[in-house]
Amino acid sequence: MKITFLGTSHGVPAADRYCSCTMLEVGGSLYFIDAGCPLMDVLIRRGEDLSRIRAVFATHIHGDHVYGLLSFIDLSNWYFKEVHAGIYLTEQAGIDHFRRLVMTTQGIPLDDERLPFHLVSPGIIYEDQNIRVTALPTRHLAHANRPSYAYLIEGEGKKIFFTGDISNHIAQNDFPTLPLEEEVDLMISEMAHFNVEEMTPYLARLKAKDLVFNHVFPVDEKIPAIRALNGKYGYPVHPAADNETIVL
């Protein structure tokens, strides 16, 4: 299993960081968690085989997590017809708006056979010969009565846990319990809505073999603090950078 960070910034892009997007390569297929970066542009520049794409999973519908998905769907619908990918969004309103925009820009409906939309709900939402994806609710958008999710990805005997965005200052007991209760090979956590000190009480209890922080803000303050955690808890800790790859 190969994990490549295509975008590691927070709510806005930076000179060296796109907004949130992570690519997983498992069994020769490609899967994505969020698409805040200009996903199709990045894939074309990387020379990726678009026919290998199987699914895109959004953690929630904020622009820095889905704006690149919109252009990806638009381009896949009329031009890159080798793309057959399920699109997993967290709100029906988002699905409806995406459909309308494709129809408005192109004058043709979305190809539902190649690019089917799916509404995320808690539990197992996807399974093929390579991976299984389980959605776990977070409280990132609870103040607006809207859903958001963390994801557990299982494949090739490995487990990866993505926190997605969680609540500000972990104020609503929103730290995910799963990686505190069962071992995961890699945990990928955001670090934009709370500080390092607020997370440290959980780190000694974390059952992760590796911890990576992405979606970091402010960078100048938090990157040194994240690096200072490395070696303190018995597993590696480091911040992610765009185009960094981890192989499990």
Q: So what's the pLDDT on residue 45? A: 97
What is the per-residue pLDDT across 98-135, written as a single tens digit (0 to 9) for each? 999 999 999 999 999 999 999 999 999 999 999 999 99
Rounded to an integer, the average pLDDT of 222-247 is: 96
Scored b (16 or more CB within 10 A) or e, 72-82 reads bbbbbbeebee
Distance CA 217, CA 221 (A): 8
Give this prediction's pTM: 0.97
How much of the chain is helix, strand and coil, in % rounded to 5? 30, 30, 40
Rounded to an integer, the average pLDDT of 59-70 is: 97
Strands (E), the chain: 2-7, 21-26, 29-33, 53-57, 86-89, 117-119, 123-127, 132-137, 149-155, 158-162, 186-191, 211-216, 237-239, 245-247
What is the per-residue pLDDT across 145-179, written as a single tens digit (0 to 9) for each? 999 999 999 999 999 999 999 998 886 789 999 99
